Amino acid sequence: MRRIVLTPVYLPGPAFFDRASRADEAIVLDTIPFDAHGLHARARIKAPRGPLWLTVPVDSRRFGERFAETRIDLSRDWRARHLAAIVTSYAEAPHFDWAFPVLERLLSREWTHLADLNLAAVEGLCGLLDIPVNIRRTSDESGAFEEEPFDYAFPVYPQLHGPFLSHVSVIDLLFNAGPRARSILAKGAAAA
Query: Residue 36's CB: how many other CB atoms inside 10 A?
Result: 13
Total number of domains in the chain: 1
Question: How high is the pLDDT of residue 13?
Answer: 95
Higher pLDDT: 188 or 129? It is 129
pLDDT tens for each residue of 147-179: 777 788 899 999 999 999 999 999 999 999 999
CB 125 within 8 A of CB 86: no
Distance separating alpha carbons of residues 108 and 10, to the nearest angstrom: 16
Residue 104 pairs in a beta bridge with: none
Q: Which helix (H) or strand (E) holds 117?
A: helix 114-128
Query: Which residues span the domain enclosing 75?
Result: 3-191
Is the pLDDT at 60 greater than 80, yes or no? no
Question: How high is the pLDDT of residue 189?
Answer: 64
The rounded mean pLDDT for the chain is 91
Residue 109 pairs in a beta bridge with: none
Query: Residue 97's CB: how many other CB atoms inside 10 A?
Result: 11
Reported confidence tier of residue 22, pLDDT bands at 50, 70, 90: confident
pTM equals 0.93
Reported confidence tier of residue 83, pLDDT bands at 50, 70, 90: very high
pLDDT tens for each residue of 109-127: 999 999 999 999 999 999 9
